[in-house]
Amino acid sequence: MRSPAELTQAFRQTGLKVTPQRQLLFRLLHGNTSHPSADVLFALASEAMPGISLRTVYQTLNDLATMGELQSIDFGTGSARFDPNVTDHQHAVCNECGAVHDVHVSRAPKMSGLEGFDIHDAHIVYRGICADCAS
Ligand SMILES: [Zn+2]
Ligand SMILES: [Zn+2]
């Protein structure tokens, strides 16, 4: 995801409105590695800017996803999670607290069963108990 200033420009170029509420969401999402849900973002945004609507949060997330600035991933934790990191990476999900961590695989694992299969993308989700919950 690009910086809040760059996004403001990109939104305007696309003809999308840029409000202080949207700029707040850009700031909350930029560099965010916690993979927040829309509800979590809404709570954070409401603290900084009381009166912001959940609809604005959803619309902004939707616009950012359409522009390829973030990805929406359903880990089966109840609600979709949003990741401003759109570079290729995998995830580890805690079954206990729902925390989502970024996982970087440095070497492609040996695989079978994909012969002749034209792969467009791959996403591996590791599930288990995170270090915080395990201790
Ligand atoms: Zn956990
Ligand atoms: Zn991620």
CA–centroid distance, residue 7 to ligand 1 (Å): 32
Q: What is the pLDDT of residue 99?
A: 95
Tell me: the pLDDT tens digits for 77-131? 889 999 999 998 999 999 999 999 999 988 877 889 999 999 898 889 999 999 9
CA–centroid distance, residue 1 to ligand 2 (Å): 12
CA–centroid distance, residue 89 to ligand 2 (Å): 6
CATH for 4-82?
1.10.10.10
Please state, in angstroms and rounded to a whole number, the distance separating the CA atoms of residues 104 and 106. 6
pLDDT at 9 over 90: yes
Ligand nearest to the CA of 89: 2
CA–centroid distance, residue 91 to ligand 1 (Å): 13
Delimit the domains of the chain by residue range.
Answer: 4-82, 88-135
pLDDT at 31 over 90: yes
The 3-state DSSP class for residue 48 equals helix
Q: What is the pTM of this model?
A: 0.89
Ligand nearest to the CA of 91: 2
Ligand nearest to the CA of 73: 2
Tell me: the pLDDT tens digits for 101-115? 999 988 877 889 999
Write out the CATH class of domain 88-135: alpha beta
CA–centroid distance, residue 18 to ligand 2 (Å): 26
The answer to whether 31 touches 84, Cβ cutoff 8 Å, is yes
CA–centroid distance, residue 21 to ligand 2 (Å): 24
Q: Which residue has the tokens 């359409």?
A: 66
Q: For the chain, what percent of residues have pLDDT higher than 90? A: 87
The answer to whether 60 touches 4, Cβ cutoff 8 Å, is no
CA–centroid distance, residue 38 to ligand 2 (Å): 15
Ligand nearest to the CA of 100: 2
pLDDT band at 75 (very low <50, low <70, confident <90, very high): very high
